[in-house]
């Protein structure tokens, strides 16, 4: 089992930046794919950014955040980050860190995966962007 805990959420004005962090513990060596999702009330959880664990391949981003958000991993393979720049009100949501131990790294590199492919989740952190 992998335990995930997000931090770094908060309130910011439009055009600002935030950096989310996700600390992983437990069976982190079994993680193959890492992702950030976000969710607003009444809508499905949306995949924002995804990266193959311990891989050097380019990350995958949702079109809505491409060029503004950057996902990265910590050197010790126990953290994943989401740098969010040029934030807008449309980015307001609860952001979740997710880790998968059931998909292959090949699959993780090839396609943006839905929430059902991730079997470990953090509790979420609120991001609020005011106009």
Q: How far apart, in whole angstroms, are the C-alpha atoms of residue 125 and residue 18?
A: 12
| Residues 18-32, mean pLDDT to the nearest whole number | 94
2-16 pLDDT tens trace: 999 999 999 999 999
Q: How far apart, in whole angstroms, are the C-alpha atoms of residue 24 and residue 61?
A: 21
Task: Calculate the average pLDDT of the chain.
Answer: 94
Q: Regarding beta strands 10-13 and 125-130, do their DSSP bridges make them parallel or antiparallel, or are they unpaired?
A: parallel
C-alpha distance from residue 55 to each of 18, 29, 32, 123 (Å): 24, 13, 9, 25
Positive or negative: CA dihedral 96, 99, 103, 105: positive
| Residues 62-89, mean pLDDT to the nearest whole number | 92
105-122 pLDDT tens trace: 999 999 999 999 999 999
Q: Regarding beta strands 69-73 and 60-61, do their DSSP bridges make them parallel or antiparallel, or are they unpaired?
A: unpaired
Q: How far apart, in whole angstroms, are the C-alpha atoms of residue 17 and residue 15?
A: 7
């Amino acid at each position: 089992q992998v335990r995930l805990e997000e931090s770094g959420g908060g309130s910011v004005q439009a055009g600002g930046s935030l950096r989310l962090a996700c600390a992983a513990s437990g069976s982190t060596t079994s993680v193959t794919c890492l992702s950030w999702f976000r969710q607003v009330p009444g809508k499905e959880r949306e995949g924002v950014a995804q990266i193959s664990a311990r891989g050097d391949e380019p990350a995958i981003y949702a079109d809505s955040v491409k060029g503004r958000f950057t996902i990265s991993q910590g050197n010790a393979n126990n953290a994943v980050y989401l740098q969010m720049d040029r934030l807008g009100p449309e980015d307001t949501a609860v952001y979740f860190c997710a880790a998968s131990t059931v998909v292959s790294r090949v699959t993780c590199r090839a396609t943006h995966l839905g929430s059902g492919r991730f079997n470990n989740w953090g509790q979420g952190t609120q991001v609020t962007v005011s106009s």
